[in-house]
Amino acid sequence: MLKMEIVMSKEKLENAGYDFDKSIKIICNGLKEAGFIEELNEEGHIIYRGTNSNKDFAYFGLIWEKLMEQQWFKNACEEWYLLNDSRSKNGEFLIAGDFIEDAKKHGEW
C-alpha cells in the first residue's frame, strides 16, 4: 500500500502571506478528490493512504505534478515522501521516494 506524507511550515506560509488553514485544506482536498484516505492532519503534518488499487501510484503521481507547479507549496514544504509497505518484513511503511530530494537533484526545487 502507498501513502503520501507532507509536512508544511506554518511560519513560512504565513510569512509569505498565505492562510495556513486554507493552504492545508487545498492540499487535503486534492488528495481526497483523488480518492485517498486521510490518516493524519495535524498542524501541517499530513498523511494520506491509497486504497490499495493499482491506480494509486498514478493518482499520487498526478498529485505530485500539481503540487510541483505551486511555488507557495514548494516554498513551505519541509518534508514530502511517498511511503510503501510492500518491501517491509514487519508491515512498517518505508520511504519509497523523497520528493524534495529528487526534485533538487533535477533542479526543480
> At CB < 8 A and 24+ separation, what contacts does 49-52 make?
49/1, 49/2, 49/3, 50/1, 50/2, 50/3, 52/1
Higher pLDDT, 106 or 86: 106
Torsion angle of C-alpha atoms 42, 31, 95, 23, degrees rounded to 10: -50
Residue 9's domain comprises 2-105
| CATH assignment of the domain containing 88 | 3.30.70.240
pLDDT, one tens digit per residue, over 42-93 is 999 999 999 999 999 999 999 999 999 999 999 999 999 999 987 666 778 8
pLDDT for residue 10: 98
pLDDT for residue 95: 87
pTM, full prediction:
0.93
Residue 73: closest CA among 64, 81, 86? 64
Higher pLDDT, 20 or 95: 20
| Interhelix angle 56-68/20-33, nearest 10 degrees | 150
Tally of domains within the chain: 1
Share of the chain above pLDDT 70, in %: 97
Mean pLDDT across 8-18: 98
